[in-house]
Amino acid sequence: MPRFRNRHKVWMSAKFGRAGQQMVYAYMRLGMLTLYRDDTLDVPLISFALSQTELTGSGSNIILSSPLPSLAALAAAKKKGKGDGKKGAAEPVVVTPTEEIVLSPPTEDKEGTGIAPAEKLATLKKKLEDGIAEAKTLDFDLNLNFNLGVDVEAKPEDTLEVVTEGYLHTKFLQLDEGAGTDARTVKKAWDGHKEGWARAYFVLLNNGKLKYYESAGAAGMPVGKRVEMGEVNLRLFAVTEVEEAFDAAEAAADEKKAKESKGGKGAKAGGTNKSKVKPVEMKIEGEFYSLVKGKQFELRNGRLIFRLASGVPSIAEEWLNTLTATTTTMYQKSPVFPQNFIKVHMLNGETSRQLINENTVCVNLVKRMCKEFSINNDGEWGLYELWDHPDIPGMPGMKERKVPNMESLLDQTILKWEVATRIRHGMVAAMPETSFKLVLRKASSLTPTTRSKEELALEYNQAMQDYKGGLFALEEKEANKEGTLTEEEDEVWDMAALSAFKDAFDKRLAEASAAEEEGGLTAERSRELQRMLETSITDMEPADLEGTENLYLPAAWWANGEPNKGAMTTWRKKICERFHELLVEEIIDSGDEMVLTRRLLYDYRMEADPNAYAIMSLFVDRVRRSPKCFAMQFMAHLWSQERTHAVVLQVNYLGLHIYTPGEAQTLLASFAFYDSLVSWLALNDMLTVHVVHQKMKRSAKIHLLTRETMQVKSLLTRYADAVLIELQKIDKERALRRKVEDKNRLEA
């Protein structure tokens, strides 16, 4: 398939729309010219398709002009067809609206190349001329016959053929410049849209162009006499289905007409309730018919939105499927994201570039990466998809999801990114890496004994991110029901002391190793140094932690700016005090009142002195016991006989946690293995969980609808087995502790 080859990027001075003259980063790629706020590509300002762009001007300015989609020509033709106007009057002149970009030489040399501003403008003009010629050729030449199954033997250079055609109702919405394209903004814009529906005859050609005409007769005219009302270049658009389209203005107008025709009889005060509308039946020539609700869908290119509809759902569905297939094929000609490799972010800050093709599924890439990075338990790891805006398909309000094991990365994951880009920003030359990214993370909270050092280090990085980033929460208390990490919570300082010790251990080991490098440091000598450091680090001064406080304490403490010096000094002293309590002095066993971090370290120190690897393991062990940490996420619906509620399930070592969907998730209920979860059963898409409600002291069965019931059941079973082993161990320790206490009491 032919691809766009011309590309260029440069800082320019530009003026467009209602914005004044400003410095922009101009990027020409994929047959598009996009102006960005800066070279990070975070904020696209305006984008032109070069195949529709006219280039004029010379000297100090060049002007780019591009037509805007409009239904004005269609409306004028309909008006004329109704007989409006005097006989013999001139046909109405329809002016196609356009947008302009005026480019001028840059006012400053941001690249630092030393090239003269006028020369930069001249170079850009030459590149644009080549890009426009290439775009016009490619946008016309691509033939979709093979992809869409229409005359598979046709050659690309053959005459264009019709893929499908038919009547549809349409509306067009253009959002204001700079307006957001999120669902709420678009809905508000449609609610305020005044223009009604226009009926047009649409023709989809095999070059990816969707043309519309006044009627089928107009579309069937000879080429020389055929009058187009407009066209849509589908490689620039995304197809989305409108779930519950309801035009309040039109509904009110229809209701008013119905009242007038009936003289207002039978009309109830307070308007109508669209959820209670009953099916309409009609009797025609002795046969009964019922009216069926039509279907709507949209073509979206950033702030340009076409809404299409048909009163026959099957026709709309056929158009929706065909246009979706067409856009998917067209994206291959100008993909915003690479099609032969993908970047995966690691928890240690590194990025790995992995080759992919149309057969690469998520689980295979995870196994390949685990082997590459010496991760022994590949089944415990997974790819997580992170978006910079909460609009993941099928997960409303969510910015993160675990990629299913058998999802195709090219044909499903990256395709979603292509669609989301066109919906949010329109077709642009490029997107920053932070807009959509994949992260290799541990997807379970099990701690197998076969973990490698590299695997444990990645787990520790993930635990630190959860601890500092706000996902980690302490156990619920009366004074702190949310488990927020505050200065008053003792366990925060325990965890900070552990992470500070780990870094101190690594630093001193590196220094000792470097001192012996010249003589040849063997593996045995390295282990000997580690054993020496396990008992030799007996001091940690506040001065050693100066400037590194944010490495060990929650990031939320810096949310309102840099804390004052007095607070920082106090924090450093507290960390050092906890270091001596936990790792130098003997930990006093206070029974069930001991916080979990201290209990885990106490148990470990009964057997050996901790080193950096032990601290990492203990830190991970503590963090994994928080509801949102090291948890696998599932979308589900809470089922009842009356209705269903969308929820998010989090399953980890602690138990089953149910949250509301959305960016700010609210915990609805949490059921732990040790006191609430009784049993679970999976049947098809129904997961039935038998729980005990602690506050009400009553048992109940929760029914959850999800397509991943077997995976949830398997996880719950595995965690339950691990928790049972730990509970048995705790019971033995408690019995032994009571026995020792009784013996001491008798001796006293």
* Cα gap 653→675, rounded to integer Å: 13
pLDDT tens by residue, 669-699: 889 898 889 999 999 899 999 998 777 778 8
Distances (CA, A) of 118 to 12, 105, 109, 336: 10, 6, 12, 30
Kindly indicate whether the domain formed by 149-247+295-331 is annotated with CATH number 2.30.29.30: yes
Q: Quick one: tokens of 730?
A: 């705790």
* Cα gap 590→595, rounded to integer Å: 9
Higher pLDDT residue, 741 or 703? 703
- Structural contact between residues 356 and 365, judged by C-beta atoms closer than 8 angstroms: yes
Name the band, by pLDDT with cuts 50, 70 and 90, for residue 476: confident
Q: Measuring CA to CA, which residue among 8, 107, 112, 102 is closest to residue 59?
A: 102
As a whole number, mean pLDDT of residues 450-470 equals 93
What is the reported pLDDT for 613?
86
CATH topology of domain 341-442: Ubiquitin-like (UB roll) (3.10.20)
- Residue ranges per domain, the chain? 8-84+93-141, 149-247+295-331, 341-442, 453-623, 632-725
pLDDT at 474 over 50: yes
Q: Measuring CA to CA, which residue among 635, 124, 646, 719 is closest to residue 402?
A: 635
- Structural contact between residues 355 and 369, judged by C-beta atoms closer than 8 angstroms: no
Tell me how far apart the 2 most distant CA atoms of the chain are, in Å. 121
Bridge partners for 384 per DSSP: 402, 439
What is the reported pLDDT for 307?
93
**φ and ψ of 702, to 5 deg:** -105, 130
CATH fold match for the domains 8-84+93-141 and 632-725: yes
Distances (CA, A) of 691 to 185, 673, 700, 734: 41, 10, 6, 26
What is the reported pLDDT for 142?
55
Name the band, by pLDDT with cuts 50, 70 and 90, for residue 276: very low
pLDDT over 70, % of the chain:
84
HSE-CB of 585 using CA atoms within 13 angstroms: 11
Mean pLDDT is lowest, of 102-111, 135-144, 430-439, 659-668, for 135-144
What is the reported pLDDT for 255?
59
Q: Quick one: tokens of 402?
A: 């675990």
What is the reported pLDDT for 606?
85
DSSP label at 561?
A: S
DSSP label at 153?
A: T
Q: Quick one: tokens of 733?
A: 């320790």
Higher pLDDT residue, 561 or 58? 561
Q: Measuring CA to CA, which residue among 357, 377, 358 is closest to residue 367?
A: 377
* Cα gap 131→4, rounded to integer Å: 8
What is the reported pLDDT for 638?
92
Scanning 373-447, the segments in alpha helix (DSSP H) are 415-424
Scanning 380-425, the segments in alpha helix (DSSP H) are 415-424
pLDDT at 270 over 50: no
What is the reported pLDDT for 693?
79
Give the global pTM.
0.84
pLDDT tens by residue, 5-39: 899 999 999 999 888 899 999 999 999 999 999 99
* Cα gap 58→129, rounded to integer Å: 13
As a whole number, mean pLDDT of residues 694-708 equals 85
What is the reported pLDDT for 374?
93
What is the reported pLDDT for 271?
43
As a whole number, mean pLDDT of residues 253-276 equals 50
DSSP label at 90?
A: P
Name the band, by pLDDT with cuts 50, 70 and 90, for residue 450: confident
Beta-carbon contacts of 278 under 8 Å, excluding residues fewer than 6 positions away, are none
Domain 8-84+93-141, second-level architecture: Roll (2.30)
* Cα gap 616→637, rounded to integer Å: 37
Beta-carbon contacts of 424 under 8 Å, excluding residues fewer than 6 positions away, are 181, 302, 389, 391
Judged by DSSP in three states, 31 sits in coil
Pick the CATH number of 632-725 from 3.90.1150.10, 2.60.40.10, 3.40.50.2020, 2.30.29.30: 2.30.29.30
* Cα gap 618→607, rounded to integer Å: 14
Name the band, by pLDDT with cuts 50, 70 and 90, for residue 416: very high
Helix (H) or strand (E) holding 678: strand 677-683
What is the phi-psi region of residue 645: left when phi exceeds 0, alpha when psi lies from -120 to 50, beta otherwise? beta
As a whole number, mean pLDDT of residues 699-709 equals 90
pLDDT tens by residue, 545-555: 888 999 999 99
pLDDT at 170 over 60: yes
Q: Are strands 62-67 and 281-284 parallel, antiparallel or unpaired?
A: unpaired
- Rounding to the nearest 10 degrees, give the CA dihedral for residues 550, 553, 556, 558: -30
Name the band, by pLDDT with cuts 50, 70 and 90, for residue 743: confident
What is the reported pLDDT for 543?
87
Judged by DSSP in three states, 345 sits in strand
Look at the block and give the residue holding tokens 């490029």: 430
* Cα gap 123→237, rounded to integer Å: 30
- Structural contact between residues 431 and 587, judged by C-beta atoms closer than 8 angstroms: no
Scanning 354-452, the segments in alpha helix (DSSP H) are 362-372, 415-424
* Cα gap 516→524, rounded to integer Å: 13
pLDDT tens by residue, 501-543: 898 888 877 776 676 665 556 666 666 666 666 556 677 888 8
What is the reported pLDDT for 155?
52
Mean pLDDT computed over every residue of the chain: 84
pLDDT tens by residue, 200-245: 999 998 888 899 998 898 888 887 788 888 889 999 999 999 876 5
Beta-carbon contacts of 506 under 8 Å, excluding residues fewer than 6 positions away, are 612
Bridge partners for 232 per DSSP: 210
Q: Quick one: tokens of 480?
A: 């702190």
What is the reported pLDDT for 509?
74
572: burial class by Cβ within 10 Å (0-12, 13-18, 19+)? buried
